[in-house]
Amino acid sequence: MKRLFPRVLGVPHGLPEARGTHRHRVRVLYGDTDRAGVVHHAAYLHYVEAGRLEFFRHRGLVYRELEERTGLGLPVIDLQVRYHAPALFDDLLDLETFALKVTRARAEFATVIHRGDEVLVEVQTTIACVDLRTGHARSLPDEVQRVCVP
């Protein structure tokens, strides 16, 4: 299957990150696997979310504080996922997250999940902004737009 982000290498932990990306490491839990013996396809999305929030934190935006201070949330509104090879229980996975594009209304991210130098899963995520109390759409706050610049 074709790569979503063909120029991204799965760079093993310990080597430097590409400029603008953030690397986050997770260990696969037993409960993330299914009876096929591999990570269930929905479980990766929790890793991807964690990787995106660590990307934010690394750039100075603590997402929980944003929610609590502004009453705004950043829901996922679009996803594309390509599964190249399965992750297994107890694997250490590295997630490279980087921003693809940002407008006043939306931000797009790429996440490449790899194990060593093998790319397992690629994810493109689009987030928007809503008022958590009413659910109404809002512009992305400036502080969010800033950290989402590619």
What is the closest distance, in whole angstroms, from the C-beta atom of residue 19 to its own copies in the complex?
Answer: 25
Taking the least distance from each CB to its own copies, the nearer of 74 and 99 is 74
**Residue numbers of the site for its own copies (CB under 8 A)?**
1, 27, 29-31, 33-38, 40-43, 45-46, 49-50, 53, 62-64, 73, 75-83, 86, 88-90, 132, 135
Nearer to its own copies, 5 or 18 (CB): 5
110 CB-near residues (< 8 Å, 6+ apart): 4, 5, 8, 97, 98, 100, 122, 123, 124, 125
CB-count exposure of residue 10 (10 Å: 0-12, 13-18, 19+): middle
For β-strands 92-102 and 107-115, DSSP reports them as antiparallel
Q: Name the residue nearer to its own copies (CB basis): 99 or 123.
A: 123
> 100 or 132, CB closer to its own copies?
132
Could you please report the per-residue DSSP string of 46-69?
Answer: HHHHHHHHHHHHHTT--HHHHHHH
Beta carbon of residue 94, minimum distance to its own copies (angstroms, whole number) = 16
Report the DSSP beta bridge partners of residue 110.
98, 124
Minimum distance of its own copies from residue 8's CB (angstroms): 18
Distance CA 92, CA 23 (A): 12
CB of residue 96 vs its own copies: minimum separation in angstroms? 19
